[in-house]
Amino acid sequence: MIGKPVLRVGKLKKSGDSSLAATDGHLSRSVPTKNADPTRAHLNEWLVGGPGDLTANVKAIMDKAGIDPDRLRKDATVANDVVLTVSPEWFRPNDPDAAGTWEEEKLEAFRREGLALLRKQFGPRLAAAVLHLDESTPHIQAVVVPVLKRPDGTNRLTGRDYFNAVRMVSLQDDWEARLTPLGVGPREKGSTATHTTIKSYYSALQKAPEVPEALPPAPTPARALLPGGGEAMAAWQKDEVAKVTRRQKPLAAAAAKGILYEAERRAGDTMRRQVGEQAARARGFRDQLASVTRELALSRDEIAVLRGVPVNEVAAALGYAGEIGRRENAIDLVKRVGELSFEESARWLALAFGPAAAGAAVREATAQPIAPDQVPLTAADKVKAVAARKQLDALAAPTYRVTVMHQRDDGERYAKNVGKTKDGAPEKLWTRDEVLALIPNLTAQNARGGNIFITPIDPSTHHALIDDLSADNVRTMKERGYTFSTLVETSPGNMQGVVKVTREGVSDAAVNEWFKATNRDLGDDHITGLTHPMRLAGFQNRKAKYEDEGRFPFVRVVEAVRTVCARARAVITEMTTAMIEADLGRPRRP
């Protein structure tokens, strides 16, 4: 590990040397800039915005937030600039003193990770970002408008509260985690990031700060040098202890963060390492096929069976945690992720899943479920079918439990499992097409006051429901790096989000702990049971409290993406490791 990550935050004022106009000139090099070589200014690259756009971009962000820049004080902080870099020995390990040089591969990795961090952490608050290559060491300088929402829903401008101690620790951790897989050593702990001006950045760009883990005591002075003897010695010792204590405070604050935050932080490094491992696995598929001595001659019927292998199980076998196309079947997914031909993909599926999976696919194919286009639908039912199809395609579970929940006049609720009969036969689980074919029946039950729920039954994937989400909490989860497979609005301002996590390699107990902790933090703190019913899109929420002159809100699809959540899996993997180590009585690794 070489080099140190550097991240600093500064203030931009409404007027003066650090105004937006002055900063725009600095970013675009339209004014002479200290330590910059004007003959190399053409190498600089705008990542967000462009020359001369800064003031307009900041105003546009304020306008959207309902903030009038004309009403701000003359000395108000209107934005913050964020500088990202790495100490020079990482960019040019063979000759750290060769100012203005770098290895191209490292520069591209730095550019990619820096822009990704800015977009993730600041999103719509990001007004500008420039990669400067005309100074001694490459660095990215960005401008952020620090908008925060008040409890009453209005917005305010506050750099002090937006870049508070918690956010600064999060930023530093995120930047360090992104650079660690690139061979950048950890930052020096115990340093504090403060709001400064542009002028103070240049020393940081030349060399990473070297702050010791804790401030060592100064050498004890000889008694003869301290007038006052013992009293002076005691005062000196007290002062030295106070210095050490002040330096240790940021470390203690960081150490006090909860298990979920710690797991999320550690997972960042793990996720980046797994990207390389996944790529290696994909390259290995071709080698694996080349080593197979017996060619598999597959008939058309056998290939059709392989297409029917549940796509979530295929993604788990591939180690793939990205988005799956709405019409992508098992063979399509293997072709894309494994970079294989059609024939090779079919062979890989046959080798990976074997006769048992093929047999299950055959049984499903020969069951001849009722196709939704064979069921007559009213115009209203067709609207329901569109919403339900989006939701079901994104969930992508092989089967579902369908439940109708009724509420009696006395307030008691009772559930009817649509797949159970009175003759004691095994419960019927419904495929995606069968659920769509039930829409006319479910519409009638919904009209009689029943609430329509589905529960994904999926042996390869957990479908974790985060219930009663507000828009702010949805935003918080996304800022933490989580992705929803589905997000539906069940009543005005309330949403249900589903986060999908593949089962392989993680303990069910850890998934359940993450599910409960996330609901307690951001969702429904009363929710229990990881396999949990969720509302089916397109139908009315018939809870009495939502009735408005005989009308009820419809369950509306907000987002539907056929994906599992890599962030959740990484955090849960970290929690699994922690639980195993706790059971074995081992101390947590540093």
**Ordered strands of the 126-132 beta sheet:** 45-48, 126-132, 139-144, 77-86, 5-13, 195-196
Confidence of residue 498 (pLDDT cuts 50, 70, 90): very high
Mean pLDDT check: name the lowest of 72-86, 170-184, 254-268, 565-579: 254-268
Mean pLDDT check: name the lowest of 327-341, 466-480, 561-575: 327-341
pLDDT at 224 over 50: no
- The 10s digit of each residue's pLDDT in 167-211 is 888 888 889 989 988 889 787 654 444 433 444 444 433 333 333
pLDDT at 589 over 90: no
Q: Across-strand partners of 82? A: 9, 142
pLDDT at 218 over 80: no
Q: How far apart are CA 210 and CA 533, in angstroms?
A: 53
Q: What does the pLDDT read at residue 232?
A: 67
Q: What does the pLDDT read at residue 56?
A: 93
Those residues whose C-beta lies under 8 Å from the C-beta of residue 291, and which sit 6 or more positions away, are: none
Confidence of residue 111 (pLDDT cuts 50, 70, 90): very high
Range with the largest mean pLDDT of 189-193, 311-315, 362-366: 311-315
What DSSP string runs through 131-197?
Answer: EE-SSSS-EEEEEE--EEE-TTS-EEE-HHHHT-HHHHHHHHHHHHHHHGGGTBPPPPTT----EE-
- The 10s digit of each residue's pLDDT in 438-481 is 887 888 788 778 999 999 999 999 999 999 999 999 999 999 99
Q: What does the pLDDT read at residue 526?
A: 85
Mean of the per-residue pLDDT values of the chain: 78
pLDDT at 360 over 60: no
Identify the burial level of 433 via C-beta atoms within 10 angstroms of its C-beta, where 0-12 means exposed, 13-18 middle and 19 or more buried: middle
Torsion angles phi and psi, residue 404, rounded to 5: -115, 120
- Looking at residue 398, the DSSP 8-state letter turns out to be S
Q: Compute the average pLDDT of residues 70-87.
A: 89
Confidence of residue 34 (pLDDT cuts 50, 70, 90): confident
Confidence of residue 556 (pLDDT cuts 50, 70, 90): very high
Q: Write out the H or E segment, with its range, that includes residue 534.
A: strand 534-535
Confidence of residue 353 (pLDDT cuts 50, 70, 90): low
pTM of the model: 0.46
Range with the largest mean pLDDT of 186-190, 240-244, 410-414, 568-572: 568-572
Half-sphere exposure of 385 (CA within 13 A, CB side): 19
Q: Residue holding tokens 């008939």? A: 299
pLDDT at 252 over 70: no
- The 10s digit of each residue's pLDDT in 287-303 is 544 443 233 444 555 56
Mean pLDDT check: name the lowest of 140-144, 161-165, 235-239, 580-584: 580-584
Strand pairing of 494-502 and 413-417? unpaired
**Taking a C-beta distance cutoff of 8 angstroms, is the pair 158, 98 a contact?**
no
Amino acid at 353: F
Q: What does the pLDDT read at residue 561?
A: 93
Q: What does the pLDDT read at residue 259?
A: 52
Q: How far apart are CA 128 and CA 58, in angstroms?
A: 9
Taking residue 51's Cβ as centre, other Cβ atoms within 10 Å add up to: 15
Angle of the 330-338 helix axis to the 300-307 helix axis, nearest 10: 80
The distance from CA 246 to its chain's CA centroid, rounded to whole angstroms, is 34
More confident residue, 350 or 39: 39
More confident residue, 536 or 333: 536
Confidence of residue 590 (pLDDT cuts 50, 70, 90): very low
Q: What does the pLDDT read at residue 472?
A: 93
Q: What would the two tokens of residue 527 be?
A: 């929710």
Q: What percent of the chain has pLDDT over 90?
A: 34
- Which domains does the chain carry? 5-206 (3.30.930.30), 260-366 (no CATH), 372-575 (3.30.70.1790)
pLDDT at 157 over 60: yes
Q: What does the pLDDT read at residue 528?
A: 78
Q: What does the pLDDT read at residue 244?
A: 62
3-state helix, strand, coil in the chain (%, to 5): 45, 20, 35
pLDDT at 348 over 50: yes
pLDDT at 362 over 60: no
Q: What does the pLDDT read at residue 330?
A: 82
Q: Compute the average pLDDT of residues 379-405.
A: 91
Whose CA is closest to 72, among 158, 4, 141? 158
Q: CA triplet 345, 349, 352: central angle to 5 degrees?
A: 130
Confidence of residue 534 (pLDDT cuts 50, 70, 90): very high
Confidence of residue 409 (pLDDT cuts 50, 70, 90): low
